[in-house]
Structure formats: C-alpha cells, structure tokens
Amino acid sequence: MTSIGLNLHTVRERIQTACARAQRPAEEVTLLAVSKTFGPDAVRQAHGAGQRAFGENYIQEAVEKMALLADLPLEWHCIGPIQSNKTRLVAQHFDWAHTVDRLKIAQRLSEQRPPDRPPLSICLQVNIDGGPSKSGVAPEEVEDLAREVAQLPGLRLRGLMTIPEPAEDFEAQRAVHERAAALFHRLRDAGLELDTLSMGMSADLEAAVAAGSTMVRVGTAIFGGRPKKD
C-alpha cells in the first residue's frame, strides 16, 4: 500500500474508534479527504485506497485538478472562501460548497448551477467561536439565512460547517464543537431538513465526532504536511 493508503487506513480507524467511544454508528461520519496543494497523483492514490470525496480550498487549482481526474467517479467539495467572482466555477464544477456565509453568494450559486446537474449541496459556514476577522455567519443569524437558502432552486441545503480556532486539549475542542452541534439541532427542531455537520480536521476529529460531527475534513493526516500558505 502507498503511504497515502496507509494514512487513510489510520484515519478511518481514528474515526471508528471515536464513533465507538461516542456510541455512534461509524457510518454516520463521512471522511472528506482535503487534497488542497496536492496534485492529481495524490488524489488518484487516495481513490485507489477507496476514498471518494475530496475537499479543495483554492477554486482555480481544484478545477484544473478535476479536469485531470475526470476519468474517476469523485465527489468534489469546495471548502475554501468563495468570492463573488468565483461562484460560477463552483456552481459548474463542484458537488458541494461548505463555505456559504451570505445570501448573495447562495443566490449566485443558485442562478449559475447548470440545470443538467443535480442540486449543489450547501453547508452554511458558521463563525462559531466569534473571531472578529473570521468568515462565517454569526450563530444568531444562521436560521434566517438557512430559511432563505433552503428556498433557492439548484441548491440543496445540507447543514452547517465550522472552522474553530485550534485548541490543544480535547475538552476545549469538544466544547466549541458542541456549540455547533447545539445550533445544528436547534435548526432541525425548527423544521429545517439538515443532515450534515461538517466539522473536525486532522488535529481535532475525535472531539468533533464526540460532539456529533457527520463529516470530518482531513488533509494533513492523509496527504502529509503542506507548504505553509494557509
């Protein structure tokens, strides 16, 4: 097996262990392999080891990679910031967008989604720990945004996504993830049909799964370290 294959195996075991501890079925948590900055060969290796869903931050880079991998049945998730001038590429090429945090971006994605493609799955990015310079909708504004996005044709609202500040210890990580989970459940109780809570990365996936994550986004633990850029 390649090292990417071995790493994937280790990450799947981490997810299974975390699910077992939380008394959750392992099928409840989807692994998104974050392949940003890595080339098509790395994605091919991961696909060869059974991985299907890939996350990308840089839209132009992602679209070029997709063209080189068009022979594989992959699912592509946009997890990077989406500026207005990039919505068309996202609408045309991706299966999911996790980082929608304002109505204008959702409206553009809705208008630009090609009618022959299935609806684009959408997560609303929530600024769960309140960092002033961070992207993401404020928790108290999520419900209104969710109600508007849920009406837009060409989109399917799936849930929430968070990128909390890194925290060292498990309990601190879990406390933030639990705030996101509480918000997610509140929206569902309010009648929104959400099935996805996208949270947890290489360093905190156990805490995220303990809190109720349904999709962990893992880069470094699968593909190795990236040049320091983001």
Ligand X SMILES: *Cc1c(COP(=O)(O)O)cnc(C)c1O
Smallest gap from residue 57 Cβ to ligand X (A)? 5
- Closer CB to ligand X, 97 or 149, in the complex: 97
- Closer CB to ligand X, 149 or 218, in the complex: 218
Asked if residues 136 and 163 have their Cβ atoms less than 8 Å apart, the reply is: yes
Contacts by 129-136, CB closer than 8 A, 24 or more apart: 129/164, 129/165, 129/176, 129/179, 131/165, 134/163, 135/81, 135/99, 135/101, 136/101, 136/162, 136/163
Strands (E), the chain: 30-34, 53-56, 75-78, 96-100, 120-125, 155-161, 196-198, 215-218
Smallest gap from residue 145 Cβ to ligand X (A)? 19
Smallest gap from residue 108 Cβ to ligand X (A)? 20
- Closer CB to ligand X, 120 or 221, in the complex: 221
CA-to-CA distance for 26 and 160, rounded, in angstroms? 20
Residues of this chain that bind ligand X (CB under 6 A): 34, 36, 57, 79, 163, 201-203, 217-221
- Closer CB to ligand X, 107 or 202, in the complex: 202
Give Cβ neighbours of residue 147 (< 8 Å, ≥ 6 apart). 192
Smallest gap from residue 203 Cβ to ligand X (A)? 6
Smallest gap from residue 135 Cβ to ligand X (A)? 10
Residue nearest to ligand X (CB): 219
- Closer CB to ligand X, 56 or 154, in the complex: 56
Chain centroid to CA 115: how far? Answer: 24
Asked if residues 126 and 183 have their Cβ atoms less than 8 Å apart, the reply is: yes
CA dist list (Å): 105 to 82, 90, 114, 122, 148: 8, 11, 16, 11, 12
Smallest gap from residue 199 Cβ to ligand X (A)? 9
- Closer CB to ligand X, 101 or 154, in the complex: 101
